[in-house]
């Protein structure tokens, strides 16, 4: 049987039966435990040198079973039928017509391919399946190591992606250092002494550049690192569309104006996310990222000393580490229950008036989002599904594609 470690994981996100014709599949990343079962309800087998009838028979056989099939069985069946397997995994894999050559590079897709999503073109053109897999393994390993060394890093890498995408799109601009001619985003109010994880991104970039120089953007690395961080802390996975290119510039002013402040009321939060195309429910789902990570005293001092919609015992417990003056950078967990596990405890805390930030508690304070908090508090699966879907949407915010932008050699400076 073909070694599973050598398998490439190429996925597409569409479930549209009338998908437009395209030469090559869109590459997304979704590393799955190979012991899992894979559903064939929307699964097509990607292989070559297998007739259309053989492929149809294989899929029909799987679909006629109990709805799932061991991945190893799928591989064996394909190999026995003479097929060269390029991919197995979760979701859907684009079938190759009988007689077509095995694709060795990734090409274009259209909006129809992603249910109306952003059209990324020329996605890492020239990548072989082996190269794609190698990069996936390299990045996943680096993120797992960083999170294992410091659980907080998982939240930091997730936040890095959010702060990148909300400022002029997911273009890696947050990674750029200041220059003589440009004040970047790192020193903007929401980021200074706060946003972190740059060294982890640098490590991944160095490793990836040594394998395939000039191919993988820093923006893509940030997007995948965010997903892998959530998974490392027990949260959901999602398909990460690839093909973003890097900006050569950053905007200090845009970072100051576009990133939601922890002091916002509910109406301000809804407006900030609506401006980026998100619904109020998606805003609540994304806020659930505060189930991991920590916040600085300066961001919640006013809440624990002056606000009334806060559990008194909870507030008192925080004041020892966050004095009324001084200690601005002292940290407290955003989720007091399980700060290093990606779960729905954050929403349960809100119900008990234990939201750390003013903006957190605004989600459950007699307003229009109370019902959504109740839903996520009682149904973890609904939260993780909604969160994953919202993360895919966030990763599609105004990416640079085609000939726009560049593939930075060093994530901290333009080429």
The catalytic residues are: 163
Q: Give the three-state DSSP class for 410.
A: strand
Residues 6+ apart with CB under 8 A from 338: 291, 345
**CA angle in degrees (0–180, nearest 5) for 245-286-336:** 125
Number of Cα atoms under 13 Å in the Cβ half of residue 63: 12
Q: DSSP secondary-structure letter at 172?
A: S
- Answer yes or no: are the C-beta atoms of 91 and 106 closer than 8 Å: no
Helix 312-319 vs helix 297-306: angle between axes, to the nearest 10 degrees?
A: 130
- Answer yes or no: are the C-beta atoms of 246 and 400 closer than 8 Å: yes
* Distance from chain centroid for Cα 401: 18
Rounded distance, CA 353 to CA 361, Å? 7
Beta-strand runs (E) in 195-354: 294-296, 331-333
Of residues 14, 42, 202, the one with CA closest to residue 109: 14
β-bridge mates for residue 230, sequence order: none
Rounded distance, CA 153 to CA 255, Å? 21
- Answer yes or no: are the C-beta atoms of 175 and 200 closer than 8 Å: no
- Backbone phi, psi, residue 413, to 5°: -150, 150
Angstrom distances, CA of residue 58 to CA of 52, 98, 100, 124, 192: 10, 14, 18, 31, 55
Each as own residue / partner, the long-range contacts of residues 358-361 (CB below 8 Å, 24 or more positions apart, any chain) are 358/262, 358/263, 358/264, 358/265, 358/300, 358/302, 358/303, 358/307, 359/260, 359/261, 359/262, 359/263, 359/264, 359/265, 359/269, 359/287, 360/262, 360/287, 360/290, 360/334, 361/303, 361/307, 361/309, 361/310
């Amino acid at each position: 049987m073909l070694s599973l470690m050598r398998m490439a994981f190429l996925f597409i996100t569409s479930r549209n039966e009338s998908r437009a014709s395209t030469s090559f599949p869109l590459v997304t990343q979704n590393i799955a435990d190979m012991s899992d079962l894979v559903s064939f309800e929307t699964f097509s087998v990607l292989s070559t040198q297998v007739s259309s009838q053989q492929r149809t028979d294989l899929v029909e056989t799987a679909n006629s079973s109990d709805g799932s099939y061991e991945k190893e069985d799928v591989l064996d069946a394909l190999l026995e039928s003479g097929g060269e397997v390029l991919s197995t995994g979760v979701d859907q894999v684009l079938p190759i017509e009988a007689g077509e050559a095995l694709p060795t590079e990734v090409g274009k897709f259209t909006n129809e391919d992603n249910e109306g999503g952003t059209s990324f073109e020329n996605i890492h053109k020239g990548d072989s399946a082996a190269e794609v897999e190698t990069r996936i393994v390299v990045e996943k390993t680096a993120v797992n190591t960083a999170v294992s060394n410091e659980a907080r890093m998982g939240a930091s890498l997730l936040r890095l992606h959010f702060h990148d995408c909300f400022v002029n799109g997911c273009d890696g601009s947050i990674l750029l250092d200041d220059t003589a001619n440009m004040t970047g985003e790192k020193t903007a109010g929401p980021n200074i002494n706060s946003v972190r994880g740059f060294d982890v991104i640098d490590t991944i970039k160095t490793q990836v550049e040594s394998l395939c120089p000039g191919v993988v953007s820093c923006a893509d690395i940030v997007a995948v690192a965010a997903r892998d961080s959530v998974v490392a802390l027990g949260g959901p996975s999602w398909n990460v569309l690839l093909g973003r290119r890097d900006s050569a510039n950053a905007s200090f002013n845009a970072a100051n104006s576009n990133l939601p402040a922890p002091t916002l009321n509910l109406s301000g939060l809804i407006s900030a996310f609506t401006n980026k195309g998100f619904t109020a429910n998606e805003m609540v789902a994304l806020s659930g990222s505060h189930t991991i990570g920590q916040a600085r005293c300066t961001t919640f001092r006013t809440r624990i000393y002056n606000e009334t919609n806060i559990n008194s015992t909870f507030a008192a417990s925080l004041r020892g580490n966050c004095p009324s003056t001084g200690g601005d950078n002292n940290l407290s967990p955003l989720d007091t229950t399980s700060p290093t596990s990606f779960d729905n405890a954050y929403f349960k805390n809100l119900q008990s008036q234990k939201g750390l930030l003013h903006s957190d508690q605004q989600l459950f304070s007699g307003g229009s989002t109370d019902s959504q908090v109740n839903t996520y508090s009682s149904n973890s699966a609904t939260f993780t599904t909604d969160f994953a879907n919202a993360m895919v949407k966030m990763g599609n915010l105004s990416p640079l594609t085609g000939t726009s932008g560049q593939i930075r050699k060093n994530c901290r400076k333009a080429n």
